[in-house]
Amino acid sequence: MAERVKLAYRESGEGETILLIHGFCGNKDYWKEVEARLSPSHHVVVLDMRGHGETKAVEPGYSIHDMAEDVFAFIEEKGLQNIFLFGHSMGGYITLDLAKHHPEILGGYGLIHSTAYPDSEEAKKNRSAGVSKVSQQGVDLFVKELVPKLVSERTRETEKDVIKKLFEIGIETNPKGVIGALMAMRNREDLTHVLENDRLPVLLVAGGQDEVISPEKTFTVNGSHVTKALIEEAGHMGIFETPDEVSRAIASFVDENSKK
């Protein structure tokens, strides 16, 4: 069995459990704004994935499934049940893998600026170039180039504090964590069939200004089990750019589906 990594976490509030998984070069502080809005009425748990935040890094060569199994081991150890799981971007890839392998632990799940599609051939080449870049030049330069692409033009021009925060969080990522995540994302499978499965309710949140994952790549399925929220002014970082809208979408999805 592949190595399981014990995940650092933070929890607050009481009520239905909402588990939040950050994206690439992020950590649990990606969710601070959303956490503050949800925890007065929900039990909110935020995680650091392997090589990110306070969770240790391991040798690259693992998969998105391995990262999802870290989350599953965490859930089992904490004894959490009927969880509402949401992943931002890379966190969404991990969320989908959990929905595929462990649907019984979920009350519902959501992709926040994420997609069920795999990488295109061009994206795979860019991941490999990223691996070389981080190996040769380290994390700081890589993150410096990454961060501006994550937000909308408006955020880029007017919200320098958001850019600064994203940079500060990003450069804390362990180089092995960056390389491991790049390889895992490059090799991930198409999980559209998981999204299509109507046995679990699904929330899809997209940003109208997202230059990394366009709304078309997020809204790939229809059905009565699917709730879609398009936040027109958000880039890839609605959790920082439009935290009220993202939190509202999550809270109403959870409250609606926990009644069932």
Q: Which residues bind ligand MLT (CB under 6 A)?
A: 23-24, 89-90, 185, 212
Which residue has the CB atom at the shortest distance from ligand MLT?
A: 23
Nearer of residues 39 and 209 to ligand MLT, judged by Cβ: 209
DSSP string, 202-245: EEEEEETT-SSS-HHHH----STTEEEEEETT--S-HHHHSHHH
CB of 187 to ligand MLT, least distance (A): 12
Task: Please list, in sequence order, all residues whose beta carbon lies within 8 angstroms of the beta carbon of residue 65, skipping any fewer than 6 positions away.
Answer: 97, 101
Of the pair 94, 250, the CB lying nearest ligand MLT is at: 94
Residue 90 Cβ vs ligand MLT, minimum distance, rounded to whole Å:
3
**How many angstroms separate the CA atoms of 56 and 8, rounded?**
9
CB of 23 to ligand MLT, least distance (A): 3
Task: State how far the Cα of 201 lies from the Cα of 152, in Å rounded to an integer.
Answer: 29
Cα separation, 67 vs 250, whole angstroms: 23
Smallest distance from the beta carbon of 117 to ligand MLT, in angstroms? 10
Strand 202-207, strand 106-112: pairing: parallel
Beta carbon nearer to ligand MLT, 105 or 185: 185
Identify which of residues 17 and 27 has a Cβ nearer to ligand MLT in the complex.
27
In the three-class reduction of DSSP (H, G, I as helix; E, B as strand; rest coil), residue 132 is classed as helix
Q: How far is the CB of 163 from ligand MLT (least distance, A)?
A: 15
Shorter beta-carbon distance to ligand MLT: residue 90 or 229: 90
> What sign does the dihedral 9-15-19-20 (CA atoms) show?
negative
Q: Identify the bridge partners of residue 18 per DSSP, sorted by sequence position.
A: 44, 84
Q: What is the torsional sign of CA 148, 87, 114, 133?
A: positive
Nearest approach in angstroms of CB 116 to ligand MLT is 12
Of 5 and 25, CB closest to ligand MLT: 25
